[in-house]
Amino acid sequence: MQRLSKEREATLPYILKEGYEVKSKETELYNCIAFVADDEWRHWWPNDDGYWPIRPPENTPHDDTIDGFVAAFQTIGYKTCDDQNLEDGYTKIAIYVFDGKPAHAAKQLPDGRWKSKLGPWEDIEHNTLRAVEDDFLYGSAVVFMRRETNYSEYADVSKI
C-alpha cells in the first residue's frame, strides 16, 4: 500500500486512524474539485484561471460560496441530499467547508469509501470522510450531493 510522505501525513490529523491509500502521483494539472467532477486535465476553481462551469457576467465576481459550488456540481447532474450514506444506484460527493467557504471535495466509491485529491499532491482513497478533515484548511464535510450512478458524465462534460 502506497502512503504519503510522513510530512504530508502529519498535516492530516485523522488520516492514519481512519485509513487511506495513495492512488496517483502528484500533479498540479487538476485539483480536488476537478477530480470529483471526473476531469483530470483541468483545474476547477471559480476564478479567472480555473475552469468553472458557470461563468459570471463580465465584471461580476465569481461565486465561491457553498451555493456557488452546489450550483457548479448541479451542472453535472448532482443534487443535494441528506447524508453521506451509501445508496444503491447513486454516486455521492461531499463538499468540505472551512471558515464558511468550500475548501475540498471527495467522491464516494462503490464500496462506500471515498476518493479525493489533496491539492497539488496525490489522489488518495480514504475509508471515511473524516480522514481528510481538519480545523485549519479543509474543515469538515458538510454538504452532500448525489446523482444516479449510470448518469452520462461524458455527455454532460462535452456540453460545458
Partner 1 sequence: MPVESEALFNKGAEHQAGKIPQWSVENNSIVESHGDYPAMESLHQVPVGIRFEFLRDLWRQDIGRDSSLTNITKNKYYSQIIELKTPVVPYILKELQVRPGPWFFALRSIIKDDSPKIPNEYIGNFKKMSEVWVEWGKHRGMI
Contacts 24+ apart (CB under 8 A), 2-7: 4/118, 4/121, 4/122, 4/124
Q: Phi then psi for 71, rounded to 5 degrees?
A: -65, -40
For partner 1, the binding residue among 52, 73, 90, 114 (CB under 8 A) is: 52
Please tell me the count of residues contacting partner 1 according to CB under 8 A. Answer: 29
Q: Which of 73, 97, 104, 139 binds partner 1 (CB under 8 A)?
A: 104
CA distance 88 to 145: 14
Q: How far is the CB of 75 from partner 1 (least distance, A)?
A: 14
Answer yes or no: are the C-beta atoms of 114 and 106 closer than 8 Å: yes
Rounded least distance, CB 34 to partner 1, Å: 8
- Give me 119's grid cell: 491539492
Q: Does 119 bind partner 1 (CB under 8 A)?
A: yes
**Which residue of 33, 72, 94, 141 would you call a contact of partner 1, by CB under 8 A?**
33
CA pair distance 10, 74, nearest whole angstrom: 34
Report the alpha-carbon distance of residue 152 to residue 57 in Å, rounded: 28
Which position among 2, 5, 47, 85 is part of the footprint of partner 1 (CB under 8 A)?
A: 47
Residues that bind partner 1 (CB under 8 A): 8, 11, 28-29, 31-34, 41-45, 47-52, 64, 101, 103-104, 117-121, 137
